Amino acid sequence: MDETELETVLREAQMGSSVAFGQVYGEFSTRVFGLCRKMLGSHAAAEDATSEVFERAYQALDQYDRDRPFDRWILTIASRHCLNRLRRERLEKRLFHDEPVEVPTIAASSSPLVAFENQEQRRAMLRAIDALPENYRVPLILKYYGNLSYDEIADHLRTTHSNVGVLLHRAKRELRGRIITLGKEES
């Protein structure tokens, strides 16, 4: 679907056409599902979340400002939705606060991530990402999958711009450490 086509479909959807909204669903469901899958870590939960995200988007469609890119808008809804879900699930855990975490310090210059070139290795990396604690996994996915800016992520996580940088930095360090351990276990 090219841009003008998408614009027409969105306009129709905003005017209440359910057929047009079905097309919107077809266009964006994969990406929304992908984000939900990565943030929630489970297939079934992501399925539920995807349909809930689209339901929410359907209700809020008249608030969508057509000057903004639509994928940004719906991914924002999706990440917010997933975060609420995670918060509900782990209400007692204080997730996104700037607490010191014990992390093996592995500098990026010797990053093991870069070495992960073939698909097999990358899938192992994805498993490692899935296994990351939520406070690392969520910003990582929002940034490198959702393509959101620090400010947007900060807004979602109710934290600050600079703390997002810290979280991402630590997330990557943690990931490096885990991948090294993973490599050692395999060998």
Partner 1 sequence: MSCPTELTLSIHADGELPEHEAHRIVAHLEACATCSALLTALERENVVLMEALGEEEAVTDRLPAASSTPSASASGSSASSWIWGAVAAAALAPVMLDWLWQATPSLPAGVGWVSGLGGLGGLFLISRGLVQLFVGGQDMLVSSFGFVATLFVVVGTLSVATLRRPLAGATAGLALALLAGLAPPSPAHAAELRYEKEGTVKVAEGESIDDTVFLAGKTAIVAGVVDGDVFAAAERVEVTGTVRGNVYSAGETVTIAGEVSGNVHAAGKNVEVDSKVGGSGFVAGQNVIVTEGSHLARGGYFAGESVRSKGRVGRGIIFAAETMEVSGSVERNVRGYGSQVTVSSSGSVGGDLHVTVPSPDAVEVDDGATVSGETIVDIEEKEKRRAFLYPGFYFGVLAKALAMLLMGLVLVTLFPSLLPPSPDSSKEVLRHMGFGFVALVATPVVMLIIALTVIGIPVSIVLGMVYAVLVFLSTLVVAYFAAQRLPGSDSRRRLVLNTGASLLVILFVVAIPFVGAGLNFLVHIFGMGCLVVHLRNLYTKSHGSSDSSMSQPGKLATE
CB within 8 A of 93, min separation 6: which ones?
Answer: none
Among 140, 157, 174, 179, interactor with partner 1 by CB under 8 A = 140
Q: Dmax over Cα atoms in the chain, in whole Å?
A: 59
Q: How many Å apart are CA 72 and CA 93, to the nearest integer?
A: 28
To the nearest whole angstrom, how small is the minimum distance from the Cβ of residue 83 to partner 1? 18
Residue 92 DSSP code = T
To the nearest whole angstrom, how small is the minimum distance from the Cβ of residue 178 to partner 1? 14
Q: Which residue has the tokens 């999958």?
A: 145
Token pair, residue 11, equals 């306009």
Per-residue mark of binding to partner 1, 54-83 (x: CB under 8 A): xx--x-------------------------
Per-residue mark of binding to partner 1, 17-36 (x: CB under 8 A): -xx-xx--xxx-xxx-xx--
Q: To 5 degrees, how large is the angle CA 181–CA 182–CA 187?
A: 95
Residues 46, 32 contacting (CB under 8 angstroms)? no
> Residues interacting with partner 1, by CB under 8 A?
18-19, 21-22, 25-27, 29-31, 33-34, 37-38, 43-44, 47-48, 50-52, 54-55, 58, 107-111, 113-114, 116, 119, 122-123, 125-126, 129, 140-141, 143-145, 149-150, 161-162, 164-166, 168-169, 172
